[in-house]
Amino acid sequence: MITIHNLKVTYGNQTALTINTPITFQKGDRIGIIGSNGAGKSTLIKAIMGIVNYDGSIQTELKPEQIAVHMQFNQYANTMSVRHIMEAVLNTSIKKNKELQELITYFEFEKCLNKKFSALSGGQQQRMTIILILMQKAELVFFDEVTSGLDFETRQKLMELLTKWYREHPASVCMVSHYYEELEQMANQIMIIDEGHIVDFGMKEELFAKYCGNVIISMENTNKNQEVTKGLTKLMAPKRELVISCPNKNDEINLVKVLIDENINFKRSTNDLEILYINAKAAFRNKTTNNIAR
């Protein structure tokens, strides 16, 4: 669908994004994009959409109308009801459009139609924009921080609805999010961006094996737990956590036995995107530093 090669985006004298290794988005991909604020995530979307100037190559057979984008912040006129805004944007009547009615029902948006946009809660505003996006039936959809600013319960409900929707619809999806659990639900591929560079891009399971091992065991980071796991391969993790990499089943079994004998609470995971992100970024920065040193 899209192939990116030798891409460079600059804002004045500052380079915002560089992609040297070719990257391809295929039909049906579910891509999660992770990176800190200012890493270049939104810049990537804007370059693909042609919103910002860039050097390099973005090749696609898609027409502009076949790509839809949900940006982080959206505003609509406050002089008319949400119903009339939706009908004006989509050039249709809700009463006459069965598909639109079904989406409104699916996202539990019926009670919002007669309100002004400013009267909607944050979650309701996001649902409205999502309905408008889905009505485009685009082959490639970008969601940029679609749940930003929402409380946990609202975020969870919204992501459950989106994930369920895309299980039954074939569009390719790229989702930018700071919430790892959202990408664990939606994505089967992960793109990690750090300070304007692509750290890595690939299938979620393959990246986890590359940077974390077969399984990770995490526990509270205490002096006792540090002593019990002395000599084992420790991964980068938030200060509150101690994370051990288990490259094979035997190592996992041996570690679990020791932790049980020592009465230590632990968690096993083969899909922790936060730990994957932390360790992939650390490996990339270490590699970059070593290359500069040479």
> Is the pTM value of this prediction over 0.85?
yes
Q: Is the pLDDT confidence value at 291 over 80? A: no
Q: Which domains does the chain have, with CATH numbers?
A: 1-62+139-203 (3.40.50.300), 77-134 (no CATH), 207-293 (3.30.70)
For CA atoms 62, 28, 186, 57, give the dihedral sign.
negative
> DSSP string of the chain?
-EEEEEEEEEETTEEEEEE-S-EEEPTT-EEEEE--TTSSHHHHHHHHHTSS--EEEEEES--GGGEEEE-S-----SSSBHHHHHHHHHTS-TTT-HHHHHHHHHTT-GGGTTSBGGGS-HHHHHHHHHHHHHTT--SEEEEESTTTT--HHHHHHHHHHHHHHHHSS--EEEEE-S-HHHHHHH-SEEEEEETTEEEEEEEHHHHHHHHH-SEEEEEE--HHHHHHTTTS-EEP--TTEEEEEE-SHHHHHHHHHHHHHTT---EEES--HHHHHHHHHHHHHHHHHHHHH-
Tokens at 67, concatenated: 């790509």
pLDDT tens-digit map of 238-253: 999 999 999 999 999 9
Residue 294 has pLDDT above 70, yes or no: no
Distance CA 54, CA 147 (A): 28
pLDDT in tens, 52-104: 999 999 999 888 888 998 876 667 888 889 999 999 999 999 999 999 999 99
Average pLDDT, the chain: 90
The pLDDT score that the predictor gives to residue 233 is: 95
Give yes or no for residue 155 having a pLDDT over 80: yes
Length of the chain: 294
pLDDT single digits (tens) 11-30: 988 999 999 999 999 988 99
Model confidence band, residue 273 (pLDDT cutoffs 50, 70, 90): very high
Q: What is the pLDDT of residue 275?
A: 95
Residues 6+ apart with CB under 8 A from 106: 161, 165
Q: Is the pLDDT of residue 293 over 60?
A: no
pLDDT tens track for 37-51: 888 898 998 899 888
In the predicted model, is pLDDT for residue 260 greater than 90?
Answer: yes
